[in-house]
Amino acid sequence: MDANTSVPLEKIGVIDLYGTIETPENVVLTFRLAGPGLRLWAYSIDFLVRFLVIALSGIVVMIMSIGLPGIPMGMWLLIWFFMEWGYFAASEGFFRGKTIGKHALSLRVIQDEGYPISFWSALLRNFLRAADFLPFFYCFGFISMMFAGKFLRLGDIAAGTMVIQERRVKLPREPIILEKIQPLDRTDIGSFVPAHRTLVLIEEFLERRFVLTHRRGHEMASILAGILAKKLDFQGQESLVEDYPMAFLARVYVTFHPTMSAEDDDDAAAERAQKPRRKTVVAY
Amino acid sequence: MISKREFRRQRREDWARFTELIRKVDNSSRRKFTAEESSEFSRLFRMVCNDLSIVRSRDWGTGLALYLNDLVTKGHNIFYKSPPSRLHQFLRFVGSEFPRTFRRNFLYFCVAAALFFVPMMITWGVVQRRPELAARILPAAMLDQAEEQYKQAEFKKFGAERAVMGGFYVRNNVGIALRCFAMGILLGTGTVYVLLMNGIVIGAVVGYVVGMGHDEQILSFIVSHGSFELTAIAVAGGGGLILGDAIVHPGARSRIDSLRTRGVEAVQIACGAAVMLMVAAMIEAFWSPAPIPSEYKYAAGGLLWILVILYLSLAGRGGETA
């Protein structure tokens, strides 16, 4: 479930989690949209925050009202009003599309051209909650999300906004461990050369193998490993393909990848050096 | 052709520096770049955009492309952010932008006002003559309560009670107006319903109380804040009708585009109406129930009506061409 697959997203007939926009720099950016489930969680957190603010200030007001009747109570009603109509608009408008709940779930509201949300859009999309809420608990909003695409509720459609999931921006690690892997013996394989795409696929799989358990990783790798072994007419150990398909894929990768001549180890060194360097960068 | 590893090695310094810059201003519109940082940022931004295109076109895997995609996204978000909002912008909005936007969309206001005031006047007139009809519109308990409230010649004294009511009026009335606006997106039907409904209910209450012979108390009470309050409800209704009309009559645009284009003006109008209603709430809480002779209230009320009309028709006019 990651972006940038080579199949155009329009051609996949499923609910699309990704939105794309084209920037003025002619770069196409992909966004991971936030669906109703995540947004419900964020809403629940915000609801709790608003409820607590109203309840806690209510207690303060009750205490203050003993000495000073009237005014604290009036202020409390204003706070209540603000929590009802202003909380979302103000936090999205002033904190670049984030409320406390959205922040907790790394969601952000942006304009659908990719720009930060404007103040008026924040106001509009949140005033229109009153319509999305109808007839009870965001029914219209949910229906709109299902039919408008991009999970837009009515407020999003009118304000030209969308809610996206933000990822932690992290440079992916190179599969460093490949350095130590021996290429396959040329005498064990035929003349078949795997396509560049296949090698890229293997590389990505190995890059991300840490998200899988060892067993599941081998299980998934065995499909491709089996096919490749057949195509390559692999004559080496059977057990390599059958018991350690991930290792087999790694060796195929090392064998055929043009730049895997194992001359540079400084990528790993840079990786290790990154933490101290970050501190020095902050200084200037 | 440069290899992927070579490429990464050459570019990662820039990516790291770009990340640093992003981190510096992320999540707060208050933090800013220095002049050098700004130009460094825009240079790096273009380079990272370029890197992303290279990675994509050479098919160097989703991991790296995703990383750069997210870097560019963050950069894009910062590069094109609008300047932070300030107080004087709010004052300019109230002082000139809102009345101008209002006048540009005057027809919507007229329709909303008709939907609100005409049923109000009819109900008022009918119920004043035959107060028993009011019970068909509103529950009897509510009518009794309304009559009770205006029966007393003197309103409750200033102080504690009034501040509470001020808060209540803000929450209640602004809530009604914003709901009236928001429901305009349901092809205008919600707005029409809220306007008609409120017009009829207000007309019935006033007609009933006047019909029971408390005309001076209620009229002197509502004349002042009514200027801002009733007008503002129709103004908000006009905003809601813009939303509905944008969908029903999109013109050359698609319906969604039309809604989006006109949504900004609509929400500005609704926001102006909300400000007007807050003013109305303060008048209603602290001036309208003042224990002073009714003549003063009528005089002040008249002035306030003129003020509202002048504000909506003239404010911001001078600078319009500038």
Under an 8 A CB cutoff, do B167 and A73 touch?
yes
**Chain A residue at shortest CA distance from B65:** A4
How confident is the model at residue A160, as a pLDDT?
92
Q: Tell me the residues of chain B between 69 and 88 that have a Cβ less than 8 Å away from chain A.
A: 69-74, 76-77, 80-82, 84-85
- Does residue B68 sit in the same domain as residue B116? no
Whole-number Å distance between alpha carbons of A247 and A253: 10
**Chain B residue at shortest CA distance from A259:** B3
Q: Are A224 and A202 in contact (CB under 8 A)?
A: yes
- CB contacts of B278 in chain A (<8 Å) are none
How confident is the model at residue A67, as a pLDDT?
80
**pLDDT tier, A262 (very low <50, low <70, confident <90, very high otherwise):** very low
Cβ neighbour number for residue B201 with a 10 Å cutoff: 16
Per-residue pLDDT of A141-168, as tens digits, reads 999 998 888 899 999 999 999 999 887 7
Mean pLDDT throughout A48-66? Answer: 92
Question: Is any Cβ of chain A less than 8 angstroms from the Cβ of B253?
Answer: no
pLDDT for B99 beyond 90: yes
- Where in the sequence is the domain holding B41, given as residue range(s)? 4-79
Q: What is the mean pLDDT of chain A?
A: 79
Q: How do A161-165 and A107-111 pair as beta strands?
A: antiparallel
User: Which of A83-97, A270-284, B63-77, B187-201 comes out lowest in average pLDDT?
Assistant: A270-284
User: Which of A6-10, A228-232, B180-184, B234-238 comes out lowest in average pLDDT?
Assistant: A6-10
Single out the residue in B79, B107, B137 at which a domain terminates.
B79
How confident is the model at residue A279, as a pLDDT?
35
Question: Is any Cβ of chain A less than 8 angstroms from the Cβ of B15?
Answer: yes
Find the CB nearest A128 among B84, B185, B268: B185
Whether residue B69 is contained in a domain is answered as yes
Rounded to a whole number of angstroms, the distance from the CA of A33 to the nearest CA of chain B is: 13
Which phi and psi (to 5°) does residue B99 adopt?
A: -60, -35
- Does residue B111 sit in the same domain as residue B21? no
Whole-number Å distance between alpha carbons of A200 and A182: 18
Q: Tell me the residues of chain B between 208 and 237 that have a Cβ less than 8 Å away from chain A.
A: none
**Chain B residue at shortest CA distance from A73:** B164
- CB contacts of A258 in chain B (<8 Å) are 3
- Does residue B224 sit in the same domain as residue B267? yes
Tell me the CB-side half-sphere exposure of residue A78, using CA atoms within 13 A.
15
Q: Tell me the residues of chain B between 101 and 130 that have a Cβ less than 8 Å away from chain A.
A: none
Question: Is any Cβ of chain B less than 8 angstroms from the Cβ of A135?
Answer: no
Single out the residue in B79, B99, B120 at which a domain terminates.
B79
Length of chain A: 284
Whole-number Å distance between alpha carbons of B200 and B182: 20
Give the orientation angle of helix A214-232 with respect to helix A196-207, to 10 degrees: 160
Single out the residue in B79, B98, B113 at which a domain terminates.
B79
**Chain B residue at shortest CA distance from A100:** B27
- CB contacts of B76 in chain A (<8 Å) are 23, 29, 114-115
Under an 8 A CB cutoff, do B69 and A282 touch?
no
Chain centre distance of CA A89? 24
- Does residue B210 sit in the same domain as residue B135? yes
**Chain A residue at shortest CA distance from B70:** A169
pLDDT for B281 beyond 80: yes
Per-residue pLDDT of B282-313, as tens digits, reads 999 888 888 888 889 899 999 999 999 999 99
pLDDT for A273 beyond 60: no
Instruction: List the single best residue of A9, A88, A96, A254 to mutate versus B (max B Cβ within 10 A).
Output: A96
| 3 state SS of B53 | helix
Whether residue B218 is contained in a domain is answered as yes
Under an 8 A CB cutoff, do B267 and A120 touch?
yes
- Does residue B308 sit in the same domain as residue B184? yes
**pLDDT tier, A54 (very low <50, low <70, confident <90, very high otherwise):** very high
Whole-number Å distance between alpha carbons of B195 and B181: 10
Mean pLDDT throughout B76-100? Answer: 81
- Does residue B204 sit in the same domain as residue B299? yes
**Chain A residue at shortest CA distance from B239:** A124
Under an 8 A CB cutoff, do A5 and B20 touch?
no
B153 DSSP assignment: S
**Chain A residue at shortest CA distance from B9:** A267
Mean pLDDT throughout A264-268? Answer: 45
Question: Is any Cβ of chain B less than 8 angstroms from the Cβ of A18?
Answer: no
Question: Is any Cβ of chain B less than 8 angstroms from the Cβ of A259?
Answer: yes
Rounded to a whole number of angstroms, the distance from the CA of A186 to the nearest CA of chain B is: 24
pLDDT for A272 beyond 60: no
Per-residue pLDDT of B53-64, as tens digits, reads 888 888 777 778
- CB contacts of A134 in chain B (<8 Å) are 183, 186, 190
Whether residue B321 is contained in a domain is answered as no
Chain centre distance of CA A243? 34
- Does residue B209 sit in the same domain as residue B297? yes
Q: Tell me the residues of chain B between 150 and 169 that have a Cβ less than 8 Å away from chain A.
A: 159-168
Under an 8 A CB cutoff, do B185 and A131 touch?
yes
Per-residue pLDDT of B198-212, as tens digits, reads 999 999 999 999 988
- Does residue B122 sit in the same domain as residue B245? yes
Which distant-in-sequence residues (6+ apart) come within 8 Å of A67 by Cβ?
none
pLDDT for A268 beyond 90: no
How confident is the model at residue A129, as a pLDDT?
94
Whether residue B142 is contained in a domain is answered as yes
Closest Cα partner for A85 from B91, B259, B264, B179? B179
Whole-number Å distance between alpha carbons of B219 and B149: 13
Under an 8 A CB cutoff, do A114 and B80 touch?
yes
Residue B187: both structure tokens together: 């092809």
Whether residue B115 is contained in a domain is answered as yes
**pLDDT tier, B229 (very low <50, low <70, confident <90, very high otherwise):** very high
Number of domains in chain B: 2
pLDDT for B10 beyond 90: no
- Does residue B166 sit in the same domain as residue B234? yes
Q: For tokens 């003993």, what's the residue?
A: A66
- CB contacts of A27 in chain B (<8 Å) are 49, 52-53, 72
Which phi and psi (to 5°) does residue B261 adopt?
A: -65, -45
Domain-wise residue ranges, chain A: 32-165, 176-274
- CB contacts of B15 in chain A (<8 Å) are 171
Whether residue B212 is contained in a domain is answered as yes
Percentage of the residues of chain B whose pLDDT score is greater than 90: 44
- Does residue B48 sit in the same domain as residue B127? no
pLDDT for B140 beyond 90: no
Helices (H), B212-292: 215-248, 255-286
How confident is the model at residue B274, as a pLDDT?
95
Under an 8 A CB cutoff, do B170 and A160 touch?
no
Whether residue B322 is contained in a domain is answered as no
